[in-house]
Amino acid sequence: MPDAGAPEPITRLIQEFSKLPGIGPKSAQRLSYHVLGAPEEDARALAKALQDVKETVVLCSICFNITVNNPCLLCGDEERDRSLVCVVEQPLDVLVVERTGGFRGLYHVLHGALNPIEGVGPEKLRIQELLGRAEAGGLKEVIMATNPSLEGEATSMYLQRLLQPLGVRVTRLARGLPSGADIEYLDDLTLSRALEGRQEL
């Protein structure tokens, strides 16, 4: 709890910081006093950045990735293959796939995965929007890049059932060994799928 001796703006800042994930009351206090002691332009830059992120960042109306342009730069890029869509759970996943440099299609961000026990159903994800893209035509292949977890796999299978009748080829990322892993500690599921997906040396 904020100390009784601190002026109101400081206690308010402490309260706001402690709403952030992973920030407890002590960290919030430290951050607040740090901001107080920091140069004024740093504090203003922080305030501006916070404001901008809420005011200018929107979801792309096509792929639902976070963007400041709508449609986003990826969806607007004429060089990219528009018949290929990679489906991911989170905006961060787009960055990771992009970093590989090996994908030249478009994306679709679901904003989560089906989680039946937690009550996350299809209506809470951007599934209708994906079907809309498929129904609009021009899509040849949809690549499922959801997490290889119970929820991610269920999401992929569910989407596959919805997309297949629309005449779209549905694929999913291969499952295999992560770099630097120990075979000894691999789970059976990963290893058996890696065996099946083995490749000529």
Partner 1 sequence: MVRPRVYRAEGIILRRRNLGEADSIFTVFSGTEGKFEAIAKGVRKARSRMRGHLEPLTRSRVLVAHGRSLDVFTQAETVDSYRRLREDLEASAEAIYCLELVDRFTEEREPLHELYALLVTALSLLEEGGGAAVTRHFELRLLALLGYEPYTEGCVICEGHLEEEATLLSPGAGGLVCRQCHTEAGRGRMISVDVIKLLRFAKRATAPEFMAVRTSLEVAQEMRVAIAELLRYYLDRDPNARRFVEGVRSLDQRGLD
What is the contact surface with partner 1 in residues (CB under 8 A)?
22, 114, 116-119, 121-122, 149-150, 153-154, 157-158, 161-162, 165, 178-182, 185-190, 192
Query: Is 85 exposed, middle or buried (CB count within 10 Å of its CB: 0-12, 13-18, 19+)?
Result: buried
CB of 62 to partner 1, least distance (A): 25
CB of 66 to partner 1, least distance (A): 21
Residue number with CB closer to partner 1 (105 or 152): 152
CB of 173 to partner 1, least distance (A): 14
Pairing of strands 66-67, 58-59: antiparallel
Give which of 25, 152, 31 is closest to 88, Cα–Cα. 152
What's the CA gap between 106 and 29, in Å, rounded?
43
What's the CA gap between 157 and 116, in Å, rounded?
14
Residue number with CB closer to partner 1 (71 or 148): 148
CB of 77 to partner 1, least distance (A): 30
Residue number with CB closer to partner 1 (10 or 166): 166
Both tokens of residue 27?
């960290």
Residue number with CB closer to partner 1 (55 or 188): 188
Torsion of CA 186, 190, 191, 197, to 10 degrees: -150
Residue number with CB closer to partner 1 (39 or 185): 185
CB of 69 to partner 1, least distance (A): 31
